[in-house]
Amino acid sequence: MARLIGIRRLEQPGRAPAQRVAEHDVTFREVSKVYDETVALDRVDLEVRRGEFLSLLGPSGCGKTTSLKLVAGFERPTSGDVLIAGEAAVDVPPHRRDVNTVFQSYALFPHLTVVDNVAYGLKQRGVSRRERRLLAQQALELVDLRGREHHRPAQLSGGQQQRVALARALVLRPRVLLLDEPLGALDHKLRQAMQIELRRIHDEVGITFVFVTHDQGEAIAMSDRVAVMNNGRIEQLDDPQRIYDVPATPFVAEFVGDMNVLEGLRTAADRVQLDDGTLLHVGRVLDEAPAGGRVRVGVRPEHTLVVQDEGSGRRGRLEAVMVVGHELQLVVVMEDGTKVVSRQSRTDTAVGEALEPGTRVWLEIAPGAAVVLGPAQPAQADAAPLAAAAPSPARNPQRKEKTA
Amino acid sequence: MIQRIYPRALGGAAGLSVLALGVLLYVGIGRLGLTLAPSLLLVLCTVPLYLAASIAFGAARRRGRRIGDYPLSLALPSATYFGAFFVVPTVFLAVFAVASTTGYGVIHYGFSLDAFRTALGSVYREAFFRTLRMAAVGTVLTALVGYPLAYWIARYAPARRKGLLVALILLPFLTSFLARTLAMLLILSDSFVAWHVLKTLHLIGDPPHLADTTTAVQIGLVYNYLPLFILPVFAALERMDWSLVNAAQDLGASGFTAFREITLRLTAPGLLAGVLLVFIPMMGEYVIPFILGGGRVDMAGNLITRSFLEVSNYPVGSAAALLMMGALAVFLAVYIVLSVRSEEQYGA
Ligand SMILES: Nc1ncnc2c1ncn2[C@@H]1O[C@H](COP(=O)(O)OP(=O)(O)O)[C@@H](O)[C@H]1O
Ligand SMILES: [Mg+2]
């Protein structure tokens, strides 16, 4: 009977059943998961608020899928507690959890038609055939898929399959919907359209979404809150704006958004002197590095300005100019060989778009915009005594793409 | 359209006329009592069959097209083999089956249904139904024993151990079938040492009297055909996408329901292949009942063997063999229909 209440909500959206009392739909308490030798999750605490759109963001292998499996019930934690709606869930088998999953590979039943796929869960609940059809139809309309009811999954495009998987999970109106990189297999354009679509569906049905992605842009654009994961730990759980503006750890700073990484000597608590003598005013320190030691500092591209006349900035040579939509992206090679990416709006740029690569330019860094990421990587110092004097290796600010 | 059919019709007509020629020849030679003739003729038949077929395919190729867009010539070697050693002997069986016999092994060619009448008589009928029952029980037991293992290897065995495990399943095939069956006889017979040990320990009373019983034959059937069942079932389970089972459970299906509605449903073609692969040879089995049944358990194969090799009644043996083939063809037809349908459904 309790299960049927969830179904009735489809016809009366917005009317929450009375028994939803817990404040958090999913709670992890010190959850660890160890496979053989791999520590997939390492004492993770997490609270997913009711109705929110929460993203688990991190590079491949950081434990995102494992987290979802623990919520869905396909894995048991090695230690710690998993709670769903405030109640211990570890001993509840998957089919008794009020949680549904959109699988990474969609996992549509190949022998069933689209409408039978969507109605599968309703059938398990003993909903009558007539009502199943009706509800499945409504769910397919919700995900904007019509006229394909009697096709088999193999006859659908990737985007359509993705919608079926979504409808199949949504039709049950679970307390929590888990989505494991559902947009990963789609092409860029479709992906962007589906991001908006998913957010619309979330707002429409009012179900808690736990959305897994390795694409930081996606997580930032869609979520109410983002949990940035690394090596089986959550490094920061915050709203997207703060994740970007106030990263809690060096990993978050580098993983989310573009970041130029420079090296220099920490001369005072809020001062770093780069190798060419430039003094940077540091806004935040993410990892305590002793004053007087070499540190890595991060500067976002939009916090730099490229100018053509000598000012207080560092001297360099323009390497490339790219027009990216309404923005201008400039790559400057500093005199010590470091590459810095700068981004500025095309309307208020200080330099012309027609600027030739090779031109001498100056780079200004906004005061307080730099953050200390931590001590300079000891590996470099160990590898070659020259490393300190030699130019630090060029960093590619677009590194996040690599993690795909 | 005509161009498409013409080469095939030509090949078919050529093949059929060669067959007819062979049959006429054999009947003629058989009258002369040359026992070497059947085997010689079989070999000779392959030559004109092959020529006819290659002429047909050659004609198609000269037209600059492959028949039905597929290079049918790839099927030529096996077609020749099956033509020579299956189609031709089957025609011989048919010729024998409508012949009649007098005395000891004297065959009169002609057209008579006497042999079929005998082969449909109570002795053969009983043997057929006994065989059907034993093969059915044997197949079910094989499935019950083999499926869990195939399932375990496919789903839970470490990936790098799978090859080894499959090789272990095939291990019995490294020894001769006859030696294996004789070894089984030692274990099943009352003098097997383990029975004595158990008896001395007062764990059992008398040895179980397994040898020379239907039970022994049944056990032997399962043992011998187990690998043949496990392999296709394992292959099907190995292709299984286990996230589908998770998906079913995620949507509210219990473990057992998910197994029945997803795993079993999706691997049904492999299961069916495994079932037929053991059921059909079990129906034709005669060595296992001969050895483990000690001559007291007759399967249809034993009766047919006897009419050919012991009493030299070729007509009755042939008629029984043909009837058996017809019965098994029904099972095969069911398999083909089912597997074609599942292929259409989700392109295996
Ligand atoms: N069934 C498993 N057996 C062994 N190791 C596993 C298993 N599942 C995941 N892992 C390991 O756990 C870590 C986290 O995996 P996963 O949660 O799938 O990462 P993500 O989804 O973030 O890419 C990885 O190092 C992975 O190799
Ligand atoms: Mg994953």
Task: Note the pLDDT of residue A239.
Answer: 94
Pairing of strands A38-49, A294-299: unpaired
Residue A305 vs residue A218, higher pLDDT? A218
What domains can be seen in chain A, in order of their start residue? 24-245 (3.40.50.300), 257-375 (2.40.50.140)
Same domain? B241 vs B150:
yes
Per the CB < 8 Å rule, is A93 touching B253? no
Average pLDDT over residues A259-263: 89
Q: What is the pLDDT of residues B139-196, one digit of tens each?
A: 999 999 999 999 999 999 998 999 999 999 988 888 888 999 999 998 888 888 888 8
In-domain check, residue B40: yes
In-domain check, residue B103: no
Same domain? B52 vs B93:
yes
Task: Note the pLDDT of residue A115.
Answer: 96
Interface of B with A in 325-344 (CB under 8 A): 342
Task: Note the pLDDT of residue B311.
Answer: 83
Ligand 1 in reach of A62 Cβ (< 6 A): yes
Same domain? B6 vs B139:
no
Same domain? B84 vs B136:
no
Predicted complex ipTM exceeds 0.85: no
Average pLDDT over residues A5-19: 40
In-domain check, residue B153: yes
Q: Which residues of B touch A182 (CB under 8 A)?
A: none
At residue A367, φ and ψ (nearest 5 deg) are -60, 135
Average pLDDT over residues A376-391: 44
Task: Note the pLDDT of residue B1.
Answer: 41
Instruction: Give how many domains chain B has, as a whole number.
Output: 2
CA A106, CA A110: separation in Å to the nearest integer? 11
Task: Note the pLDDT of residue A388.
Answer: 34
Question: Hey, which of A57, A60, A62, A78 would you mutate to test ligand 1's pocket, going by the most ligand atoms within 8 Å of its Cβ?
Answer: A62
- Mutation to test the B interface, candidates A99, A111, A179, most B Cβ within 10 Å: A111
Q: DSSP string spanning A34-85?
A: EETTEEEEEEEEEEEETT-EEEEE--TTSSHHHHHHHHHTSS--SEEEEEET
Pairing of strands A53-57, A225-230: parallel
Task: Note the pLDDT of residue A162.
Answer: 93
Q: Which residues of A touch B347 (CB under 8 A)?
A: 154
Same domain? B74 vs B185:
no
Task: List Cβ neighbours of A148 (8 Å cut-off, separation of 6 or more).
Answer: A114, A140, A155, A156, A160
CA B221, CA B215: separation in Å to the nearest integer? 10
In-domain check, residue B219: yes
- Of B37, B65, B97, the position where a domain reaches its end is B97
Atom of ligand 1 nearest to the CA of A229: 22
Top mean pLDDT of A125-134, A179-188, B54-63 is at A125-134
In-domain check, residue B192: yes
The domain that contains B151 carries what CATH number? Answer: 1.10.3720.10
Ligand 1 in reach of A316 Cβ (< 6 A): no
Ligand 1 in reach of A38 Cβ (< 6 A): yes
Task: Note the pLDDT of residue B64.
Answer: 55
Question: Quick one: pLDDT band at residue B269, thresholds 50, 70, 90?
Answer: confident
Task: Note the pLDDT of residue A366.
Answer: 87
Same domain? B200 vs B317:
yes
Question: Quick one: pLDDT band at residue A392, thresholds 50, 70, 90?
Answer: very low
In-domain check, residue B239: yes
Average pLDDT over residues A77-103: 95
In-domain check, residue B106: no
pLDDT at B227 over 80: yes
Give the nearest partner residue to A110 out of B248, B257, B346, using CB atoms. Answer: B346
Name the closest residue on chain B to residue A173, using Cα atoms.
Answer: B251
Residue B213 vs residue A109, higher pLDDT? A109
Task: Note the pLDDT of residue A327.
Answer: 84
The token pair that represents B297 in the structure block: 């358990």
Same domain? B23 vs B168:
no
What does pTM read for this prediction? 0.77
Chain position carrying tokens 């090789």: B167
In-domain check, residue B288: yes
To the nearest whole number, what is the mean pLDDT of chain A?
A: 84
Task: Note the pLDDT of residue B211.
Answer: 83
Question: Quick one: pLDDT band at residue B256, thresholds 50, 70, 90?
Answer: very high
Per the CB < 8 Å rule, is A94 touching B249? yes
CA A79, CA A187: separation in Å to the nearest integer? 39
* Burial profile B184-217: b = 16 or more Cβ within 10 angstroms, e = fewer: bbeebbeebeebeeeeeeeeeeebeebbbbbbbb
Same domain? B213 vs B323:
yes
pLDDT at A96 over 50: yes
Same domain? B145 vs B58:
no
Residue A336 vs residue B319, higher pLDDT? B319
Question: Quick one: pLDDT band at residue A397, thresholds 50, 70, 90?
Answer: very low
Average pLDDT over residues B258-272: 93
Q: What is the pLDDT of residues B209-219, one digit of tens each?
A: 888 889 999 99
Q: Which residues of A touch B254 (CB under 8 A)?
A: 93, 95
Same domain? B142 vs B172:
yes
Same domain? B132 vs B86:
no
The token pair that represents A343 in the structure block: 């981004």
Same domain? B184 vs B216:
yes
pLDDT at A24 over 80: yes
Which domain covers residue B128, as residue numbers? 119-346
Question: Quick one: pLDDT band at residue B101, thresholds 50, 70, 90?
Answer: confident
Task: Note the pLDDT of residue B217.
Answer: 94
